[in-house]
Structure 1
Amino acid sequence: MIFERSLQRELAYTAGAVFMVLLTIFLTTLMIRIVGFAASGEVDPKDVVVLIGLQIIGYLAVMLVVTLFVSILFVLTRWYRDSEMVVWLASGVSLVRFIKPIATFSAPIILLVAFFAYVGWPWSNAQSKLIRERFQQRDEVSLLAAGQFRESPASHRVFFIEKMTPDQSRVENVFVTSTENGKVNVVVSNRGHTETMKNGDRFVVLDNGRRYDGEPGKPDFRIMEFERYGVKITSTPVVNQQTTRGMSTPALFRHPNPDKLAEFAWRTGLPLMAINLMLLGIPLAYQNPRRGRTINLVMAVLIFFTYSNLLNIVQSYIEQGKLSFAVGLVGLHIVIAALVVFLFWLRVRNRPLISRAMFTRSQGA
C-alpha cells in the first residue's frame, strides 16, 4: 500500500540521521573519557582507538533501541503536525494498521539489537578487559613515561624519569621514592640503565646518585652516596578474573548463579524493550497542533531513561535475590506491553492520554 511504502521510506531516512547523531555524541563522550584514562596511565595511549571501537560495539544495542524509538516518534509526529495522519485515518486506515509497516521496518533493527546484546556486548567487554589487564600487568619500567610521575601498581613506589631512550634501556635524571614500614626512601641519580639477570630478574641500575632514608617528622635521616645502585623491577601478578559482563551468553548457564542470571535478564531485556518501545511510539506520536513541537522528544527521552533504569533495577534485584529470575526476565516487559495496549485502546477510542475534564477539575480545585 502507498502509505506503507511512504512510512517505511521516511522511517529509514530518519533512522539513519538519528543514528548518526547518536553515534557522534557517543564518540565524543567516549573519546574524552578514554583519552583521560590514557593520560592518567590506566590504558596504553596506543590502544585508545581500539578501546573506543570496542565500546561502540558494546553499546550498539542501546543506540539502536534509541534510534528505533525516536525515529518512529519523529516520523509519526510530523505526520500529525502536517495533517498527513488525519488524511490516512479519514481514508479508513486505523491506527492499528500502522503496526505492520512499522514492524516490518523494525524487524532487522530488533534482530541487530539481539545480536549485539547477546554477542557484541560480552565480546567487547571481554576484549576491553583483556587490553586493560595486558597494559597493567607489564613491569614497572614499561609503565614509565618520560617527564611524568608514575606510581607502580605492584609496589609502593613512585618513579620520575626526565629522559628515556626509545627502547627504555637508558634513563636520565631519575627520582624514585618508596614507603616501607613508615619510613620514606628517596633515591636520585643523574643516569642509569636496565639490566636483566640470568634468573630473569630485571633491575634499573643507577649510577653516581644519593639515597635518603628516614621517617617523616624525626631527625634521623640518613644520606648515602653510591656509585651503583639497583632497583628491582616488579611485575603485577596476572589476575584472570572473568566478569559476567564479559562472559558469552551460553557460558552464563553453565554454572548459573544470581549474577549470571541477572546479566542474561539484562541482555534479553534490550530486544524486548525495543519491541515495546516500537509499539509504544505509535500512540505516543499523537501531535496537538497547539502543543509544543519538542514535547514528544522530551517524552521519548524520559520514557527511555525510565525504562532503562527500571531494567537496571530489575537486574540488581535478581543479583541480590530479591526477585526471581522468571519474574525479572519478563515481568517488567509484560507491564509495559499492557501499558501499550491500554494506550492503543485510548487512541482508537479517540480519548486523550490526559482528559480535558480531569485537567479542568484540577484547575478548579
Structure 2
Amino acid sequence: MVASVTFRTLDGSEHRRSITSGRFSRGDDVGLDLRSLVALPGFTDAHGHLANDSLDDYLGAAPASSPVDRAFAQLRSGVFLVFDKGAASRGHLALLEEDPTRRPDLEMAGSIIHPPGGYYPGVSDRESEAADLVRVASEEAAGPARWVKLIGDWPRPGLGAIPNYEEEDLAAVVATAHEADCRVAIHTAAPGTPSMAVRAGVDSIEHGLFLTADDVEALGARGGAWVPTLLAMGSIRDSLRAGSSGQILFDDGIRNAASLLRDAVDAGVHVLAGTDLAVPHGRVAEEAVAMAEAGLGPALAVEALTTTGRTYAGLGDPWEDGAPADLVAVAGDPLGDPATLLDPVVVMRHGRLLVDHR
C-alpha cells in the first residue's frame, strides 16, 4: 500500500496526499513522486458488457474469461468506472457483490430488453412485446441493477432498421424506471428512433447515429447522456457488404454522429466514451482517441474518458479528503496527444499500485 503520494494534474497543479485505509487526506510527505507524469482520476467505460469477452461470445461462443477477470482487466488498465449496459441474463450483476477494491465502480443494467425478432437471436432472456414492456422493465428496475436497457431498433428482412417500440412505450418504461430510481439506456442505430427516445425522456442514448441538432439540445437541457461508441459502429460498418444499403446507412450515421459531438457537449449532454466490445476490456482510451480524431478534440475527449462519467454517476471531487486513493498517471500531455492515454504508466486503486511502469 502507498502511504503518501505527490502528483501533478492536467491543469498543472500539484497535489500532495496521505493515504489512510485506501483514501486520500492532506499530507506533507512527498512519498510516491509522480510529478513527472500527468495524473487523471481514472477512466470511464460508459458502454461495457462485463458478461462477455467479445462480440463472438456475446453471440454464443464459449467465453475465455469470467466477469470477475474482465472487471479486474478494466481496473488494471485504469478504468475505475464502468456503465455496464446489460447482458443476456442477470448473472453478471453478482459483480456488485465483489470487493470494490478489486473491481471498478459499477453502474449496471440487467437483462437487455427487446421484442421477438428485434435483436440478435437467443442473446437475451428478456424478449418483451410492447404489451408486457412496463412489467418487464419494472422487474429489471427492482434491483440490484440501476439501469434498464432497451433495444430501440433493429434491422428486419425487407424493411431495414425499424423501431422496436412506439414512443409511448418508451415513455412508460422511463416513468417506471425513474419511479424505481433507475435510469434507462437505449440502443439506437437507425433514423428516427433517437428522436423518439429523446422525446420519451430516455436517459442515455447508445450509439445514436441519427440524433439531430434538436435532439442534442433537448437531451442536454435535462442533462442526459450520449455514448457514440464510434469504434463499435465503425466495426459493424466494415463488416457489411461494400456498397450495401446497410453500409451506406452506417457511413451516413457515423458522419452525422461525428458532426454533432462538439455541439452535444456545448448543449450540456454528457458525451461519454464507451467500447461495446469493439476492443478488449480496459482499452476504452482507444475510443477517446477516436472521438478526438472525429471532431471532439483532445480536451473534450479526455473529459469524455475521465471526468464526465464521474459527474454523470454523481461521484465527487477525486482529489478531496476522504476520496478513494485512485489515480491513473500517463507520460506526456493528453491535451497535446490523446494517444498518451493508451498506455498508463501508473495505476493506483484505493492506495494499491496495480501498475507501475516508471
Do both share a fold (TM > 0.5)? Answer: no
TM-score class normalised by the smaller sequence: under 0.3
Q: TM-score, normalised by structure 2?
A: 0.22
Structure of higher CA gyration radius: 1
TM-score normalised by L of structure 1 = 0.22
Greater percentage in strand: 2
Q: Which has the higher contact order (CA 8 A, sep 6+)?
A: 2
